[in-house]
Structure 1
Amino acid sequence: MSPRHILVVNVQGHGHVYPSLGVVGELARRGHRISYLTGPAFAEEVTAAGATVVPYKSEFDEFHVPDVVGREDAETQLHLVYVRENRAILRAAEEALRDDPPDLVAYDVMPFLAGRLLAKHWNRPAVRFNGGFAENEHYSMFEALWASHGHRHPADVEVVHTVLVDLLAEYGIDTPVKQFWREIEDLNIIHLPKSYQIAPETFDERFVFAGPNFGGRTKDAHWQPRRPGAPVLLVSLGTLFNEHPDFFRTCAKAFADTPWEVVMAIGRYLDPETLGPLPPNVEAKAWVPFHAVLEHATVCLIQGTTGATMEAMDMGVPVVVMPHFATEAVPFAQRTVELGLGYELPSDRIDPSGVRAIVERLAADTAVKQRVLRMQRDVRESGGSDRGADEIEAYMTRCGL
């Protein structure tokens, strides 16, 4: 088909940008011109995928979610910052592409307000990318996440509802907020295998489970255990809810004087020096090449969000999930345990003996390992970047582009 101009709309977040880069890179390789809206922190990765960066300033540069989740007005503040983030994305896209509108808008599920309103603004077809669970009339990931926080739908919070009604009205939309929220695009690219999806049998041909893309991987990254053949544990709390030095100290203490090698990715907010002296078989770094460590890992201990989980599944590594520090991980951690791909570490067992016991039990569980290997097959046979690009091109053809 003839090359088209595609706008990809995303937030500034590893778990949202990285899953899309494979499809974006493949579309760019096929000659399409990609404008990719995200935060400047991802400019290098987006450019490497063959897209042109359209930057915006994220509200989360100054809004630190862990500082807010425990507040009495957390529900209102978290909903409002979400709307402000979408508004910032809207304004950046409209300004940057005022004289160069796209032929198609592809948007990540998190900035879906901005994505759908931009498609309305330019009267263009839209595609939704989703690195988490797909949503339809039977299942809502948003509602599951709100429930994990104990929050209501934004439309049920009066001040938030007013802001949303005003935002939709700017674009000539008078659809009730809840109805607008649940409307489904004609094409949805899901960066998960269908076997991992909740209620997979309820999703029709509008949903393409292309599986995860690992476009954010650093190709020349390497990691080797110091002792060949040693069992390896990779520990990560992700990029946001990771300021828990006591937890990392617990993991270090759990495996001191054992054959295990422990690699802890502690994030950019936590200084490794605050952990104090570590056993010689334990290392702590702000960042590690996840897949390079997973090549050697026996078990992975994570919050349970889909990005890290899919990385582990792709490498055939069982997981211990503990979403206690990040309630947004709860629905995904629950699904992982439900499918028998790992264990959950109970909150009352986060102590050296509890951590070590569950990790060693999982390492010895051959039934879990077999299920993980079946999920690895599903991940690798979902079609990935090529399938995602094929479906988007076919959709543009159906739309007359």
Structure 2
Amino acid sequence: MTEASRQSPPGPPRHLAFLPYPAYGHMVPVLPVVAELVARGHRVTCFTTEEFEDRVRATGAQARPYDPPLSSDPPPDVIDADECARAPLKLLEASTAVLPSIEACFADGPPDAVAYDTTLWLTGRLLAARWGRPSVQLSPTFISNEHFNLSEQHQEFAGQIDPAHPAITAFVDRLKDIVTGSGLREEQQAELFHGHEEFTVAFVAKEFQFAGGTFDGRHVFVGPTTEATAAAGGSTAWRPPADGRPVLVVSLGTTVNNRPDFFRHCVEAFADLPWHTVLALGKRVAPEELGPLPPHVEAHPWVPLTEVLPHTSVLLCQSGMGSIQEALRAGVPMVVVPHHPEQHVNARRLTELGLARVVQREDASVEALRSAVLEVAGDTALHERVRQMRRHVRSAGGAARAADAIEQRLYAPSLEAT
């Protein structure tokens, strides 16, 4: 429990509704914030799916199911312009389908505030407007304003979306139907679309955010929220190698990890070098698929990055935001192999700031992976830049600052955060 947790809230305890998206990259940064608010005496109702119910309950919040359940399936292997055009309509239908069941949960009276994931933007804003309550947008990744547009960045890698695409037309029509049929006044309907002007808590450091200095007080950058010394799913009793070898951690996160060939390349790349390699395989690759492993290579379905990264020399990952933020907090340089457009955007920012080396997926041969890791390990200037970013990430405030910002919005909804 943090010092902030032991303090009383700046007003009477309140009831908050949390609407996180039920996928690891979205849930992991939110749950410590929920736990922090509960520790401060607030009542939190957090909506989720069966996969995360136990984690939600462990925070002290009340877990309520999304009905119908929101999908946490990994995205398609290929995300091109056509897929990007179809995704908004699918997400709109899924995220608004849960509205009736959420409202039914609060039939005896609405909560005092609504905190919602960016993917449930319309759901969260509609509920807050109907109830006349303040809202907080929660973003696990970069946020947009007039100086930086995340969607445009995605399209650079996925391809430009045709505004006349049938799915875009259907999305606009469906959105119009939902908003005009919402029962809100006309001026309230217009407010649903204020986007980057919404009060937002972003789980990245401001110094890592594109155009970070251009965001005003309605945007709070708190960095990673998990405790650096605690494992999210329980300790694995992992210990660094006794012989002092440098440690390489390889992880493809939770969405693009169905790649046994990639993990085999990593084993081969470091089999004859004095490195200790830790492979975090995920749920879709079994250790047996890799064949016999050298004694200095270990493979696990999952490893707690918060425990392993402090002993790590280089992280080789898919450039997912969660892995990036944990690595930067631990001061670990990276080699990244981006897959989806959002990971390419993350890799672009890492490159701009000189914090990692990028290996394109199609170029990720044994030789390329070995060369990139050894290059990063020996780059003293890159290491210094990573140490500087580590200071920014560690001072961003994490879960305690996120809870502070939400309380400020709760008790003084018209004020900007400081």
Same fold? TM cut 0.5? yes
**8 Å contact 1:59–1:84 — kept in the other structure?**
no
d(CA) in 2 for partners of 1:208, 1:135: 13
Per-residue CA shift, 1:309-337, capped at 9, x if unaligned? 010011110011111x2222111111011
**8 Å contact 2:235–2:304 — kept in the other structure?**
no
d(CA) in 2 for partners of 1:78, 1:309: 25
d(CA) in 2 for partners of 1:306, 1:8: 21
Tell me which moved more, 19-28 or 292-301. Answer: 19-28
d(CA) in 1 for partners of 2:78, 2:179: 27
Per-residue CA shift, 1:285-323, capped at 9, x if unaligned? 221111222121110011112211010011110011111
Q: Partner of 1:370 in structure 2?
A: 384
Match status 1:12 vs 2:22: yes
- TM-fit CA distance, 1:197: 0.8
**8 Å contact 1:127–1:185 — kept in the other structure?**
no
Per-residue CA shift, 1:354-384, capped at 9, x if unaligned? 1101101100111111111111111111122
Per-residue CA shift, 1:257-290, capped at 9, x if unaligned? 2211111112112233222333332222221111
User: Secondary structure of 1:65's match?
Assistant: coil
d(CA) in 1 for partners of 2:161, 2:183: 26
Structure 1 counterpart of 2:232, from 212, 217, 227: 217
Match status 1:93 vs 2:105: no
Tell me which moved more, 78-87 or 97-106. Answer: 78-87
Structure 1 counterpart of 2:114, from 98, 105, 115: 105
d(CA) in 2 for partners of 1:159, 1:187: 29
User: Secondary structure of 1:233's match?
Assistant: strand
Match status 1:247 vs 2:262: yes
- TM-fit CA distance, 1:151: 5.0
**Residue identity matched to 2:403:** A
Q: Partner of 2:76 in structure 1?
A: 66
Summarize the Cα distance change of 1:265–1:155 in structure 2 as closer, same or farther, 3 Å threshold: farther
d(CA) in 1 for partners of 2:373, 2:196: 40
Summarize the Cα distance change of 1:53–1:138 in structure 2 as closer, same or farther, 3 Å threshold: same
d(CA) in 1 for partners of 2:287, 2:71: 24
| Number of residue pairs the alignment of both structures matches | 398
d(CA) in 2 for partners of 1:198, 1:67: 26
**8 Å contact 1:136–1:182 — kept in the other structure?**
no
d(CA) in 2 for partners of 1:44, 1:246: 33
Q: Partner of 2:295 in structure 1?
A: 280
Q: Partner of 2:128 in structure 1?
A: 119
Tell me which moved more, 218-227 or 100-109. Answer: 218-227
- TM-fit CA distance, 1:176: 12
d(CA) in 2 for partners of 1:261, 1:42: 32
Tell me which moved more, 301-310 or 213-222. Answer: 213-222
Summarize the Cα distance change of 1:96–1:376 in structure 2 as closer, same or farther, 3 Å threshold: same
**8 Å contact 2:257–2:285 — kept in the other structure?**
yes
Query: How much is the aligned-residue C-alpha RMSD, in angstroms?
Result: 2.7
Match status 1:297 vs 2:312: yes
Q: Partner of 1:132 in structure 2?
A: 141
Aligned positions of 1:2-401 closer than 5 A = 2-56=12-66, 57-60=68-71, 65-66=75-76, 69=79, 73-150=82-159, 152=161, 157-172=168-183, 180-214=192-226, 217-218=232-233, 220-323=235-338, 325-399=339-413
Q: Which runs of 5+ in 2 are unaligned?
A: 1-10
**Residue identity matched to 1:310:** Q
**8 Å contact 1:266–1:287 — kept in the other structure?**
yes
- TM-fit CA distance, 1:170: 3.0
**8 Å contact 1:318–1:342 — kept in the other structure?**
yes
**Residue identity matched to 1:115:** G
Summarize the Cα distance change of 1:305–1:364 in structure 2 as closer, same or farther, 3 Å threshold: same
User: Secondary structure of 1:238's match?
Assistant: coil
d(CA) in 2 for partners of 1:187, 1:326: 28
d(CA) in 2 for partners of 1:369, 1:87: 45
**8 Å contact 1:211–1:380 — kept in the other structure?**
yes
**Residue identity matched to 1:344:** V
**8 Å contact 1:155–1:178 — kept in the other structure?**
no
Q: Compute the TM-score of the two structures, normalised by the length of structure 2.
A: 0.87
d(CA) in 2 for partners of 1:155, 1:292: 49
Tell me which moved more, 360-369 or 47-56. Answer: 47-56
**8 Å contact 2:82–2:161 — kept in the other structure?**
no
d(CA) in 2 for partners of 1:74, 1:178: 28
Q: Which runs of 5+ in 1 are unaligned?
A: none
Q: Compute the TM-score of the two structures, normalised by the length of structure 1.
A: 0.91
Summarize the Cα distance change of 1:4–1:303 in structure 2 as closer, same or farther, 3 Å threshold: same
**8 Å contact 1:196–1:335 — kept in the other structure?**
yes
Summarize the Cα distance change of 1:4–1:15 in structure 2 as closer, same or farther, 3 Å threshold: same
User: Secondary structure of 1:295's match?
Assistant: helix
Per-residue CA shift, 1:105-135, capped at 9, x if unaligned? 0112222122112212222110111121122
User: Taking every aligned residue pair, what percent have the same amino acid on both sides?
Assistant: 39
d(CA) in 1 for partners of 2:208, 2:414: 33
Summarize the Cα distance change of 1:210–1:76 in structure 2 as closer, same or farther, 3 Å threshold: closer
